[in-house]
Amino acid sequence: MRLPKLPAPPLPAALRPKPPRPGTANGPVGRIDAAREAGTTAVDWVDERTSLSGGMRWLMFRKVPKGTNWFYTLGSATMFAFLSQAVTGVFLAMYYDPSPTHAYESARYITNEAFLGAFVRGMHKWGSSMMLILIFLHMGRTFFFGAYKYPRELNWVIGVVLLVLTLMMALTGYLLPFDQRSYWASVVAVNINGSGPLVGPYLADFLRAGPDFTATTLSRFYAIHMLLIPGAIAALIGAHLYLVAKLGTTAPPWLKAEPESDLRTTEA
């Protein structure tokens, strides 16, 4: 039996219980619900301040033409190989010392003593071969599928520059272990560079840091290998990807768009 409800005591307004706020009829939000929504809340918080969600939606939910096959994964695989090189490179840089007196010793330390050092160095060495193979395969796919044609000309140009930068990475990285093989191959490579027309001698002098292969050459190769080219590659990969997302990946060349009448019926 319900007791008759007593009238509310005549309290001042400030002490009276507040009426429930609209929308909270189901009781207070539980902790589980709050935790469940935390992620959304955080993303919303960031999105409210950056408006990134539109860009992400544009990037991730754009359509890829039908007929896209495994050949179209070569570009992202190349980028993945580059990321692998970046990560293993960071770990190698933790132990490497780019001075001519200590370079070989630190490379020896990495190879023989550091924890997993030989493994990481092996990954970096073979990753470079892998990256070049993938970049050539990706370029071959683009070439034979005619994917460099209108409107993607600029992306081809960026891609060729990326290829050249990758080869320069291979060249500058080859010297760093500072063993006989890397030293002499680099001497020859720089000399070949020096015999080039116009800029050749200047380029060789720049690479060597002077007319001869000296102590400064190694640290110069190291800075180019560690800072200059990776930065350029990362920036150009960004531009390359932006254009891919903007223009769309090509459909295989043998696919023809079906007549518009079919399209109309399927859409209806």
Partner 1 sequence: MNQGEKEEYLRDYAVLKSQGKPFFPYAVAKDAAMAAVVMVVIISLSLVLGAELGPKANPTTTTYTPRPEWYFFFLFELLRVIKPPSFTGLAMIGIPTVCLILLILLPFYDRGPERRPERRPIATLTGIFVIAAMAYLTYQGANAGSPTSIDLKTPPAVMQQGPAVVAQFNAGRQVAAQSGCLACHKIGDNGNDGPGPPLKDIGTRLPAQAIARTLTNPTSPMPPFQECGTQGPGQSAVSCLPPQKFNALVYFLSHLKSK
Q: Which of residues 178-207 bind partner 1 (CB under 8 A)?
A: 178-185, 187-189, 191-192, 195-197, 200
Dist. CA 164–CA 171, nearest whole Å = 10
Beta-carbon contacts of residue 158 (< 8 Å; ≥ 6 apart): 236, 239, 240, 243
140 touches partner 1 (CB under 8 A):
yes
Rule CB under 8 A: which of 234-263 touch partner 1?
248-251, 253-258, 260, 263
The residue type at 246: K
For the stretch 124-129, contacts whose Cβ atoms lie closer than 8 Å and that sit 24 or more positions apart, written own/partner, are 124/85, 124/88, 124/89, 124/92, 127/81, 127/84, 127/85, 127/88, 128/85, 128/169, 128/170, 128/173
Dist. CA 177–CA 89, nearest whole Å = 13
Q: Smallest distance, Å, CB 187 to partner 1?
A: 7
Beta-carbon contacts of residue 104 (< 8 Å; ≥ 6 apart): 177, 178, 179
Rule CB under 8 A: which of 75-94 touch partner 1?
76-77, 80-81, 84
Size of interface with partner 1, in residues (CB under 8 A): 91
For partner 1, which stretch binds (CB under 8 A), given 23-31, 45-53, 71-79, 234-242?
71-79
Site string for partner 1, 101-120 (x = CB under 8 A): ---x--xx--x------xxx
Q: Smallest distance, Å, CB 41 to partner 1?
A: 23
Q: Smallest distance, Å, CB 222 to partner 1?
A: 14
For partner 1, which stretch binds (CB under 8 A), given 9-17, 47-55, 57-65, 226-234?
57-65
1 touches partner 1 (CB under 8 A):
no
- 3-state class of 249 per DSSP? coil
Q: Smallest distance, Å, CB 205 to partner 1?
A: 14
For partner 1, which stretch binds (CB under 8 A), given 4-12, 19-27, 171-179, 224-232?
171-179
The single residue among 144, 202, 227, 238 that binds partner 1, judged by CB under 8 A, is: 144
The residue type at 184: W
Beta-carbon contacts of residue 213 (< 8 Å; ≥ 6 apart): 186, 187, 190
